[in-house]
Every structure is written in structure tokens, then in C-alpha cells.
Amino acid sequence: MKPINLSFSACGFLAVYHLGAASALCRHGRKLLKDVKAFAGASAGSLVASVLLTAPEKIEECKEFVYAFAEETRGQVFGAATPGYDSMARLRSGMESLLPPDAHELAHSRLHVSVSDTKTRENALVSSFPCREDLIQVLLASSFVPLYAGLRPVEHQGQRWVDGGLTNSLPILPVGRTVTISPFSGRSDISPRDKGQLNLHLTVANQDVTLSVANLARLRQVLFPPRRTELESLHQRGFDDAVRFLLEEDRFEQDA
């Protein structure tokens, strides 16, 4: 059997969709998760991948963090770009509370985080984490949207990095089959199936998406979070889409 990888797309506050999918995999796809060789992700997708790999028992706690972070951001005059509001510090606090002390050891060689080099504008997949702080720095770098999150890119190992979603928003690993997860309708394995969508697709930063009104609405929500009720609906949709995938793959398991 080919090795299986899981890859979570860049998606900002739509990460609640990923968390819904991750929750479904933990509940109904335990055998599939045991077969997963590596995890990958860009931006917010890399954060979800890191929690699913190193602390799956905290998926629900991570969801509540995103809800609170979204509400806090909505309360700012200009969202995360409001002068004096440090969204990256808030994100770091979440990572500090969610990732276990040995997260870097669990993630080493198994987690592939997409980041963008500010000098060459090329993509890199980082999978080596000498210490927990290195892991957190790489995750923060992958989520750093220039101007929106601040003016100074994240420095790591003498280089400056920004959002991995700018250059590779849905990493496909070279060995085995990569199961892709995205809150945008398109050709990903786990993604919404919008009603009445046109069969027109666009590939942006390695992610295939459908040209649809629904995706345009989702695009805005990446940086400008919707209300909690909408986030809850998105979380449920991620859960349902992952269950559909498991059923189609004949890998669905009933709760123990």
C-alpha cells in the first residue's frame, strides 16, 4: 500500500473547516490516520496539521481558540491590521498552549510546513525542527501575511519568511498519496461541493479551486472572519465533507 499523507491548505480563519475535518478523521478515520506517514500544510493549514499530528486530543480546544481569535479580530477597527494589535503574538499564545513539550520531536520529518522566502520569493517545505521554539517559529512564518500581520517578516535560521500560502498553498508530498483538504470547492479530496457551480477551475499557488460565487465569499473570510454562527456551520461542513470522503473510500468507522 502506498504511504498516505494529509495536506491542509492555506485558509486563514477558514481553518475551522480543517478542524471539522480533523475531528471527523479522529472520530471516524482512526485506521486511516494510523496509515498516515506525513502531514503538510500552509499558513493556517499548517497549524491544524501540527495539532492533529502532535496533540489530536486538543482539536476541540484548538477550535475554541480559533473562535475566540476570530471574535477578538472582529472587534478591532481594522481587523488584524489595526495599529497596536499584535495578531502574531495572539497566534503564538495559542500555539504555546496547544503544542506539547515534545511537539518538535513528534513533528520532526513528519510535518512539512510551507513557507515563502522573502528574498527569492520561492517556496520551501520545512520538516526539521531542532527544538519546540523552532517549530513555533516556522508555523508563525507560514501564517505571516505581509502588511496584514505586520511589517517585519518572521526570522528563522538567518532568513526571513512569510506566508507559505503565497507560493504553495496546498503542498503535495513526493512519496505516496497526498489526501488534500481545503475549505474552497475544487478538486481537493475533502472540500465543499457547491450547488450549481460552473465547471471552471483556477490553480492558484498550487491549489485548484472552482470559480464560484461561494468561493469568492470564502476568500474574503480568510482575512476577515465571519460571525461565530457562520464559523460553526463551516466547522460542521468540514466534518461532514470528511465523513463523505471516508465513506467513499470505504474507510468510515463507527464510534467505538
Catalytic residue list: 43, 163
- 3-state SS, one letter per residue, for 229-252: HHHHHHHHHHHHHHHHHHHHCCCC
Q: What is the sign of the dihedral through the CA atoms of 174, 177, 183 and 186? A: positive
Q: Give CA separation, 51 vs 59, 79, 240, in Å.
A: 7, 25, 20
Calpha distance 183→19 (Å, rounded): 11
* β-pair type (36-42, 123-126): unpaired
In the Cβ-directed half-sphere of 85, how many Cα atoms lie within 13 Å? Answer: 18
Contacts with 135 (C-beta within 8 Å, 6 or more apart), sequence order: 50, 99, 103, 104, 107, 111, 129
How far apart CA 191 and CA 172 sit, in angstroms, is 16
CA distance 230 to 227: 5
User: Residue 62 belongs to what H/E stretch?
Assistant: helix 59-74
Which residues sit opposite 210 in a β-bridge? 201
**Residues 88, 150 contacting (CB under 8 angstroms):** yes
